[in-house]
Amino acid sequence: MTKRALITGITGQDGAYLAEFLFEQGYQVHGMVRRSSSENFERIQHLRDKVQLHQADLLDQLSIVRLVEEVQPHHLYNLAAQSFVPTSFEQPLLTAEFTALGVTRVLEAVRTVDRSIRVYQASSSEMFGTVREEPQTETTPFWPRSPYGVAKVYGHWITVNYRESYDLFACSGILFNHESPLRGKEFVTRKITDAVARIKLGLQQKLRLGNLDALRDWGFAGDYVRAMWMMLNHDVPDDYVIATGEKHSVREFADIAFQHVGLNWEDHVEVDPRYLRPAEVTTLCGDCAKARRVLGWAPEVSFHDLVRMMVEADLTRVKKEIE
Ligand code: NAP
Ligand code: GDD
């Protein structure tokens, strides 16, 4: 029997990688997309004849119930969210509606339609905020530092609660930052690699960034979507930290990215206070020992290879654009 998977947030970075991965595993892949005045399917363009898209919105309970009824998925991956931290300071209520209450709407739909559907919730290392220990594990207490982080803490605990209350097979993946050539250009890694390509090709002079000292545990999105699938295919539902265990600064990321094209980052990067946050997460570093032990998951792409992959992809894309 062909297994059906439903992905909310299929038009995002992770949705695109996960759709491709699940398709390769033999799944029939369905994606939830929200209505917009213009299509936003660039990341899944190459999969358009393979995935089935359905309109629904995290803000609209009935639309999610109808979608789950229609698709009857075996596995549901809830990746949709307002995922950009600075926007969460500007739009905290909308962020809570999408990123926090949206999770309950998805879980309620599953509870109403079919409790045997396995659910993955996209939780985040941003929940650790002001870190209480290093590295962070599944038992490290949360201290979120943004409305986004607070919303994700709600999403995490409501997932655990539905598992405990209704015996749902619901897993929360606490994923540390993961990047790729499909990353949105507002996130710092892609902002840097896009600018490196444009500066190298003479289209831009300067790159304005915020806190260069911030430390993140950056992995490759392609590795991380595999972990989501492993969680839903394990015997018992549980929560897992997914991380590389290495941390690097924004400055170091920029240094490697500029070096890769023969440039010195210090000649191009300027600090702009506009990109500083009201409250910052200064450091994150995860310990994925549980995922290694129980799921057999390990990251495959190194930090240096990730930076190079992203710079190369942006160079190729920008060159094509100016041809
Ligand atoms: P992303 O690129 O920002 O994608 C977010 C997705 O959510 C998009 O498909 C977006 O659709 C959809 N969405 C937003 N609001 C919606 C709504 N009201 N109804 C339906 N869909 C809606 O995010 P990502 O990097 O792929 O991350 C996937 C998930 O993992 C998110 O929940 C994120 O918070 C979480 N996460 C990400 C990371 C990371 O480092 N990438 C780490 C930990 C956790 P549109 O295309 O229509 O905007
Ligand atoms: N976006 C951005 N832009 N960040 C900058 C900049 C800049 O110009 N300059 C410095 N930074 C710093 C931020 O202050 C932050 O400390 C770090 O770079 C990473 O910022 P982002 O790439 O925006 O990611 P994030 O860590 O805030 O959030 C991402 O990772 C979370 C997991 O920990 C997002 O993908 C979240 O959705 C995800 O949950």
- How far apart, in whole angstroms, are the C-alpha atoms of residue 37 and residue 184? 20
Task: Kindly state whether residue 291 falls inside one of the protein's structural domains.
Answer: no
What per-residue confidence (pLDDT) applies to 234? 98
**290, part of any domain:** no
What is the total count of domains within the chain? 2
- Model pTM above 0.95: yes
Please tell me whether residues 54 and 188 are part of one structural domain: no
The range of the structural domain enclosing residue 268 comes to 184-216+247-284+301-322
Residues 310, 270 share a domain: yes
Atom 29 (ligand 1) nearest CA? 79
Shared domain for 103 and 196, answered yes or no, is: no
For residue 165, how far is its CA from the centre of ligand 2 (angstroms)? 34
Closest CA to ligand 1's atom 45: 11
Residue 1: the pLDDT is 81
Residue 111 covered by a domain: yes
Residues 162 and 279 in one domain: no
For the purposes of burial, counting CB atoms within 10 Å of the CB of 292, is it exposed (0-12), middle (13-18) or buried (19 or more)? middle
Same domain, 112 and 197: no
On whether both 83 and 128 belong to a single domain, the answer is yes
Shared domain check, 209 and 111 = no
294 within domain boundaries: no
Same structural domain, 106 and 196: no
**pLDDT computed for residue 323 by the predictor:** 87
Domain-embedded: residue 131: yes
Ranges of residues in the chain with a pLDDT under 70 are none
Task: Could you list the beta-strand ranges (E) of the chain.
Answer: 4-8, 28-33, 51-55, 75-78, 118-124, 170-175, 178-179, 207-209, 215-216, 219-220, 240-242, 248-249, 269-271
Residues with CB under 6 A from ligand 2: 83, 85, 124-126, 176-177, 186-188, 191, 209-211, 214, 216, 250, 275, 277, 280-281, 284
Nearest CA owner, ligand 2 atom 14: 211
Q: Residue 143 falls within a domain, yes or no?
A: yes
Q: Are residues 155 and 258 in the same domain?
A: no
**C-alpha of residue 172 to centroid of ligand 1, in Å:** 15
Domain shared by 94 and 236, yes or no = yes
Q: How much distance in Å is there from the Cα of 161 to the middle of ligand 2? A: 28
CA distances from 119 to 22, 105, 179, 215, 323 (A): 15, 12, 23, 31, 45
78 falls within a domain = yes
- DSSP summary character for residue 246: -
Best of 187, 212, 306 for a ligand 2 pocket test (most atoms within 8 Å of beta carbon)? 187
